[in-house]
Structure 1
Amino acid sequence: MKKIILSAIAVMAFGFANAQEGHFKVGAHTGFILGDLKDSYSVNLGVDAAYLWNVADKFSVGATTGYTTYLSKKTTVDTPFGSFEIEGDNAGFIPVAATAQYSLTDNLFVGADLGYAIYVGSGEGDGGVLYQPKFGYQNEKIEIFASYKGISDDLTLSSINLGFNYKF
């Protein structure tokens, strides 16, 4: 974990030292749950904020944060006394991550976020390592992207997401 945090700090420091210009972006995403916990959660919703610095032609690095929540599913439990619906706790996280983006063309890009997701949901829970590769369309003011988001500790909470960002 220390290596990931130190790597993120090094990337951001490199961005500060070499930044000629940058941009701020905010957005939202929604996704379908996959992986170990797909039976416990129904959907992923969240908001994102990032600042990226241009460090080379078509390549930007920066920092990202926001809030993402995984909404719990209701499950039915049959007992000798009848059926009961049980709903678990939503899993909320604040990601703190380094982000990088490379423009393949003027309008297509690939990118990735790597960092840590801090658990802030109700009930018991742990944070975990956050990784999120992305592919999308962009112009001067907007981005539309598809991504795979994973938060791993002992189990992996993951989703396939669609997102939208507005650039300032």
Structure 2
Amino acid sequence: MKKVILTAAAIFAFGFANAQSGAFKLGAHVGLPTGDIKDVYSVNLGADLAYTWSVAEGLDAGITTGYTTHLLKSDFEGDAAGFIPVAATAQFTLTNNIFLGVDLGYAIGVSPSENDGGFLYQPKFGYQMGDTGLYVAYKGISVDGGTFSSVNLGVNFKL
């Protein structure tokens, strides 16, 4: 856990050191659980914060974090599964408005207490309208014993 936190701190420090050409993005997403968890969890909700900078024409890269939770269906007792993602993010603009993106990193398990987290991957397909982006994504968090996966609809705003 210490290594994950130190790695996240180093990534954020590097991102802020290159702040002169970058932009913050604030967003939210909602999704439907799929795969291993669809019978137990009803919805995936989350908030995202990213810092990206232009690395080439049409390509932005950076870091992202936030909070994502999978809420239990009413038939089940217990805590929702919560994660704090710490990931690299990239977005490639295909046309003036259409983009492809991906987040890769680690999702730190927050709840329940036995949640150790796991590898995070999230490919995205979206539409950019000025400072607002809408996207569809498939989010997967590989944990011991399965994968927390969902199909999400999200929005982000450049600040």
TM-score past 0.5 threshold:
yes
Q: CA deviation at 1:125?
A: 1.4
Q: CA RMSD in A?
A: 2.4
User: For residue 38 of structure 2, what is the amino acid of its counterpart?
Assistant: K
Q: CA deviation at 1:39?
A: 1.1
In the alignment, structure 2 segments of 5+ residues that lack a partner are none
Q: CA deviation at 1:30?
A: 0.1
Q: Does 1:117 align with 2:104?
A: no
Partner of 1:22: 22
Q: Separation in 1 of the partners of 2:83 and 2:147?
A: 14
Q: Does 1:52 align with 2:47?
A: no
Partner of 2:42: 42
Partner of 1:73: 73
TM-score normalized with structure 2 length: 0.86
Of the three residues 81, 98, 116, the one matched with 1:91 is: 81
- Give secondary structure in 2 for the equivalent of 1:36: helix
Partner of 2:150: 159
- Give secondary structure in 1 for the equivalent of 2:32: strand
Q: Is the 8 A contact 1:73 1:88 kept in 2?
A: no
Of the three residues 135, 149, 159, the one matched with 2:139 is: 149
Which portions of structure 1, spanning 4 or more consecutive aligned residues, are displaced by more than 2 angstroms? none
The aligned runs of 1:118-133 (5 Å cut-off) are 118-133=108-123
In the alignment, structure 1 segments of 5+ residues that lack a partner are 76-85
Q: Separation in 2 of the partners of 1:32 and 1:88?
A: 19
Q: Separation in 2 of the partners of 1:57 and 1:141?
A: 17
The one-character-per-residue Cα deviations of 1:42-89 (angstroms, maximum 9, x if unpaired) are 0000000001010100001000000000001132xxxxxxxxxx4232
User: For residue 78 of structure 2, what is the amino acid of its counterpart?
Assistant: G
Q: Does 1:102 align with 2:97?
A: no
The one-character-per-residue Cα deviations of 1:93-139 (angstroms, maximum 9, x if unpaired) are 00000000000011010000000000111342120000000000002
Larger radius of gyration: 1
Q: Separation in 1 of the partners of 2:108 and 2:71?
A: 16
